[in-house]
Amino acid sequence: MIKKFVAALPFLVATVPAVAAVSLGSQSVLVVENRTGKVLLEKNADRVMPIASLTKLMTAMVVLDARLDMNERIRIDSEDVDRLKYSRSRVPVGATLSRADVLHLALMSSDNRAAASLARTFPGGPAGFQAAVDAKLRALGMDNTRIQEPTGLSPANTSTAEDLVRMAAAAAGYPVIKRLTTDRRDIIRIKGRDVEYHNTNRLVGARGWNVRLSKTGYTNEAGRCLIMRIRAAGKSATMVLLNAGTSATRIADALNIRRMLAKPATPNAAASKAVRRKAAAARRKRR
């Protein structure tokens, strides 16, 4: 599976990760070192699964690619109400916000009405939004991903951990996405009053965590999902967790992965690297 993955993702370097050495409750996991593309850990990384609100990273990229007026006021409409899962929203119908604030709520607080309104007000409406999403998926080489609506509420929004590493890398190229997904909280004026919103990922801003990009997701079909790009012990890595049974399991997996990243190289591994460096230097001298 890893060989197939590397063939599809030429910027990644295959390894043989010892999954058993790290306790993982999520059904699908992939951890990749950002600088080298080295696969540090994987578990069922090619399994196609529902992705819930991880979808919203794609929604944000498509909206930002369209270079829309972020100061334009958007009215939350009854069309934006979730009629599939009847999920709760703290953004009332009739509220008018800037597109920038709507994007903030979709990313930081994972608000479904906010995400739906971004697609509804996209040039060409939902059909135009869908065409832009499909084009973005093709451009990123996310061949095993299907996104049919902007919120992630539909179980038809599916992907693999492999593809989602690609999506995370692309999203990290948008400074506004990095900033909005790593805000702990914000106060936004809604219908004349200040309303405080919080990040759905409680690891953002937590002691000992350096989170560079974040998105959580949850539906019954998808379980608890998470994308994070973090820095730990001088290493920058992307983790994708899909279908954890509980929030506690998702957090425990993230903690175990951070501990793995923080572990120093074993003496044997370090010695092996030194030998390889010396051998490479000797070869260069002979040329």
- Residues with a catalytic annotation lie at 53, 56, 110
The strand pairing partners of 108, in sequence order, are none
User: Which token pair is 46?
Assistant: 């090619």
Q: Taking a C-beta distance cutoff of 8 angstroms, is the pair 105, 188 a contact?
A: yes
Phi, psi of 99 (to 5 degrees): -60, -35
- Phi and psi, residue 7, nearest 5°: -60, -35
Locate 240 and state its tokens: 């994708």
Strands (E), 122-273: 158-159, 185-190, 193-198, 211-219, 223-232, 235-244
Instruction: Judge whether 215 is annotated as a binding position.
Output: yes
Look at residues 8, 60, 11 and name the one whose alpha carbon lies nearest to residue 37: 11
Whether 209 contacts 222, CB under 8 Å? no
* CA-closest candidate to residue 54, choices 273, 233, 213: 213
Distance CA 235, CA 217 (A): 25
Q: How far apart are the C-alpha atoms of 254 and 85, rounded to whole Å?
A: 27
Determine the Cα–Cα distance for residues 166 and 31; give it in Å rounded to an integer.
Answer: 12
278 vs 285: CA distance, rounded Å: 11
**C-alpha 236 chain-centroid distance:** 15
Binding-site residues from annotation:
215
Binding-site residues from annotation for substrate:
215
